[in-house]
Amino acid sequence: MTLRFHWPKLEFSRQFGGSLKAKLHLFLLLTFGFVLGVAVPACAQSTKAQLEVSETIFSLAAALNGCGYDAGLDNSVPVRQAVRSEILQATRKSPEAAASLSAICQFQREHQPAEAGRDIPQYISLALELGEPPAFKTAIPEYDLPPDAAHVQGVIPLLQKFYQTTGLHDIWLKHQAEYDAQVARFHDPVAGAITGTDLYLKMPFTSYAGRRFVVYLEPMLAPGQVNSRNYADNYFLVLSPGTGSVEEALRLEDIRHTYLHYVTDPLALKHARSLKRLEPLSELIKKAPLEQSYRYDFALLVNESLIRAIEARTLLAGKSNSEARNEYVDRYMRAGFILTKYFYDALGPFEKESTGLKDAYGDMLFNISLEQESKRARNIAFASEAAPEVVVRSSLAHHERRLLDEAEAQLATGDKAGAQKLALQVLNDPKRALPISAARRHISSAPCRAPMIPVPSHGATSIWDEFWTSRTPATKR
């Protein structure tokens, strides 16, 4: 038996006035074979993800560099220093360019976040929601912007002027070949991280239709820092390659970690009832050094435990690493992810079976014993500091999605009034983190005579996308 790979093919397309956007299309073709000792059934699957560069992210990052952002400069690839020098030269030649940069720097000083280390990430969050230059229009309504992006959206008109007065597009085009070279450099490593994960989980990428997983490379940012975002059903990473070997230059483990969230988070949303059964365990994590979102939504903690268990099994594979694997599991148990050991043990039988995680996930949840895991959790000496977060998400969005899935379950039993009550609870919450457009897709029609209009699907996996949203009688038919 052999395993055949059709390795990722790198394609380029020119868009928006000659701007070159590099895209990585990852294709995986499996036939009969074995991976990590696991039998892979005969099939032909397509795997697709994207490795891109973005002129929008470049523009914001370049402006921040012009304002003195120099974190990691010594370890950055040469293009960063070259762009910084050209921006400095442009501002010295043009008073307009100097004034436009000064305005951005003043804005940055006036919009420092309360939390240390969140200054640059808030601009990355905004860049991910902006369209192409020179307009930099928000891709979604302003009221749907993530909170940190909304905090700095006032920089957009300043960025527009800076882009025009400094001739930033010409600088971008001048260094396009260097950006393309970085994409080519990390093509195979990123492909390997994703396809290797798909193989272990036995989940073809095609099962994620309508969702996106995108890795952006931006050399103008500090190497070694990963900005990972989960917006609705889509996952984005923005990272900067450094110098040295591929392993040193790019944090592949963070790419893989975010991809595991991309795979497992939708599974949690489909098993809301099973996860609700586990909520009594949340009483045992009160003293754990966990980020607040895990206290809002126990499903997040369950999936993080599963992901850390998968990493222990795969990143530290091999019998000779059993001690290192146990230490890895123990580290995250003490960090508060109290089901890591359970999932680590459950993955042993999973590796020997042909069933993929999509089908095995429900059984893993069903087999969790509250009594045994409660006893295990009570014996944990929790760490004093939290484990570093990789994926940044709204602390409330998953809580809201769980409420919507409970509403879906009530709808399935015929309780339309109860289902709509829960859905409207999310929509009417002034602290709502889930975008209105996403929440509305989950509201079913109440029994009334009001006209009904379809809600377009945005690729969500919930059956709620098939329902209709009730509108007022004044709405046109």
From 410, 446, 405, 455, select the one nearest 426 (Cα to Cα).
405
Q: What is the pLDDT of residue 100?
A: 98
pTM: 0.73
| 402, 434 contact by CB (below 8 A) | no
Strands (E) located in 137-263: 213-217, 226-231, 234-239
In this structure, what token pair is assigned to residue 299? Answer: 């499903």
Smallest CA-to-CA distance from 118 within 222, 254, 227 is with 227
Any idea where the domains of the chain sit in the sequence? 1-251, 271-392, 397-470
- Which pLDDT score is estimated for 207? 56
User: What pLDDT, on a 0 to 100 scale, did the predictor assign at position 38?
Assistant: 37
Beta strands in 188-287, from DSSP E residues, in sequence order: 213-217, 226-231, 234-239
**How deeply is 2 buried, as exposed, middle or buried, from its count of CB atoms within 10 A (0-12, 13-18, 19+)?**
exposed
Read off the tokens for 85: 């020098």
pLDDT of the residue at 12:
32
| Backbone angle region of 308, left / alpha / beta, with phi > 0 → left and psi within -120 to 50 → alpha | alpha
Gap between the Cα atoms of 143 and 165, Å rounded? 29
Residue 31 is predicted with a pLDDT of 27
Q: Could you state, in chain order, the average pLDDT of each consecutive group of 10 residues for the chain (477 residues)?
A: 32 32 32 34 49 97 97 95 98 98 98 88 95 94 89 97 98 97 93 91 73 93 88 88 83 91 90 92 93 87 96 76 91 97 97 95 97 96 80 51 65 74 64 45 35 31 31 31
Residues 6 or more apart in contact with residue 114 via CB below 8 angstroms: none
- Contact present, 23 and 50 (Cβ < 8 Å): yes
Helices 176-185 & 78-93 angle (0-180, nearest 10)? 160
Residue 297: count other Cβ atoms within 10 Å of its Cβ: 23
Q: Quickly count: other Cβ atoms within 10 Å of residue 47's Cβ.
A: 22
What pLDDT score was predicted for residue 21?
A: 34
Phi-psi region of 276 (alpha: psi -120 to 50; beta: other; left: phi over 0): alpha
* Helix (H) / strand (E) containing 34: strand 33-35
Backbone angles phi, psi at 439, to 5 degrees: -65, -40
Asked if 265 and 290 count as a contact pair (C-beta separation under 8 A), the reply is no
The 8 Å CB, 24+ separation contacts for 417-423 are 417/446, 419/444, 420/444, 420/446
